[in-house]
Structure 1
Amino acid sequence: MNFAEWGFWQAMLETDEDRKNDKEIEKKYGLKEIAAYEYEDDESQKEAQQRASETPRTRGPVYALDQTILEIRCGMLEAKRGLVTLFSLAIITFASITTLFSIYFLARMLNQLSSQTPFDFFATIPIALYSTIAVATFGIYFKYGYHLSRLEMFTSRHLLIRFNRKTQQVYLHRPSYCGGIVTLPWKGVTSSGSSENTAIADGIGVPLLLYWSPRVTGTLHPEGAWVGKAGNNQAELRDEWEFIRRFMDEGPQGLPRPRITSHFPWPWQAFTPQFEGLTHYFRRASRTTKVGLLLICPAFLIIGLGHWLSLLLCWKPRWPKLIRQAGLPGKPIPPLTTLADRPPHIQERLRANAHLWTVRPGKRPEKKPRRRRGKSEVGQS
């Protein structure tokens, strides 16, 4: 499911009016904007160049690995896809059935007229009724629901990230509504698996995050990618990151050979992701909780079915020829993505919002300790 990536890209393009509404929500719920500083960004980049684990391994899914490239599945909520597909297919099926009913009654009326049967006005009622329902359902769906369906279906089957050792570049494969295909430099990347300072939620239930600040991207906004499976702990994410780091900095020699996954949508590729990042909870859960989890297994099967249907209704992602040939002898190195590569209206929004992502110089100012009022001061007030 591409919901997180779609939301991230929409935040990059948000209008001033939407931004104003966001600030009102932040003020209402006491949320504060966290600014980024150069010192922290530099430290995160340095930590990403250091060894993070002694047991590098990737849990995949890995789609390609050789002396030049490493390609892994991306996506923050990839394991959760399925519900949107089920709801979308239910709406499409309902609208299709009403369309068939209207066609059936229309054909029956035309057959009666051809047999010189007297015209029956009431025969037009079911035709008008079912046609109205079908047109209204399809109209509302394509206006308000189709763009949500494309977060799981009628789009690329997976988000991908490709690492190229020869060019020292990283390529992100995403639909256009999630930021599109971009080329980023390897140098300057930061990772949630490189240190405790950059860890997220102790690695439980989230994939490995790779992040490029606006200082690195050159596109006036940051870029990010959630790589691989959701983690059960921070150690798994450190191992995953160390596998990627060693591949890019030292080569595939000495790294454990991962299982290469096919792009074909086999059923088990849809059902097993439902349990990604849950081993931590299963091991520590009480007996009552484990029984409850067994009772809701049918729900996992239903979501898994929706996941599989979403994979069947998508197509295999394909890289541009320039990226496919990158690193081969005599082939050009893909240029890094710049602001000029975006359409004019996208460039306008990115320029307008550039100040929101600007990395501030120096260090983050230290928080001033809050002065606690003494009893005498309280009494005087």
Structure 2
Amino acid sequence: MTAAVRSRRIVANGRPRRRGWIAVLVGVMAVALLVPAAAFAEPDPAHEAASPKVAALRANLEAAAVGYVQAQAALESSRERRAALDTEVRTADGRLAEARARVAKYAAQAYRTGRLGVLGLIVRATSPDGYLARLAAVEQLAAHDDARMNELGRARTAALAARASVDAEVKEQARQAAEMSRRKKAMEVALSAAGARAAEGWVDPDSPLAAPARRAPDGTWPREGCTIDDPTTSGCITPRTLHALRQAQQAGFKRYVTCHRPSGRYEHPTGRACDFATEVGRFADSSATGASRAYGDRLAAFLVRNARRLGVIYVVFYCKIWLPGSGWQNYTSGGARCGDSPSGDHTNHVHVSVY
């Protein structure tokens, strides 16, 4: 039977037969199953952008958190440099002490033996050859004196330079600590203006440690562009975002995740954020419960514990946001109550942004 004949039988008398409707329904269901389930209830930036207060909050938090992370990295780098400089100071002080001891010993010996002066050596010469020999001896004594004194001078210079470097690092640490404090206050002010308040979050000391992301030679975080193909979408992400994603997956968090998003504000369009679904294979249009909620709790704890290693600037999950220096704060954006909007309230996924 041809397709045309079958078609005519299904729509005979202008009404499709029941078996025809079943076939159509099965076909529609099959097509629906072919559409990626992850697209269902995918996090929508419009939920947060719709609220001017939330939009301002996120913008202020990003600026403050980025500054805090930068200052934190600079402070850690300065502490490492100071530790190395402290070693240099101890070494320089040791060399200076040795040089002083040698000069003191040499001076004491010269005093005991009553060394002849230059004029005395020359006057005692009885022949031209003896005169030249005594001049050579005088030059040797002068060179020996110069060597000892130069050694002492170099040791003192090295010690003073090392101490000056340490003093400079101490000032740098104080500056970075003050910057971290200023940024922390900025975050707290922004959160307070949005009605947020401190809340207990997810902290698990038993979370696995992630491998540290690459830093600049001075220990700070280098700026990175969206230069890596995003394995979760057709977009791009930064090398640091890819590292964080891979580390989370290696730690066992392998459920559905998307990173780059071409629209919206904040870090997704720049490839510096990922959304980890709490369900397998999709973003559910409901708040996570049971094992799915526990999965999100563990993932949030993992990201927080490894924030310094991965360059995390904030984590959002289940109506709470974590920021470096401020900890967990209540955070809602999708409705009056937590969970009114699973996407906006982040109750169906864990969001992480990296520097």
Q: TM-score, normalised by structure 1?
A: 0.26
Which gives a bigger RCO, structure 1 or 2 (Cα 8 Å, sep 6+)? 1
The answer to which structure has the higher helix fraction is 2
Q: TM-score, normalised by structure 2?
A: 0.28
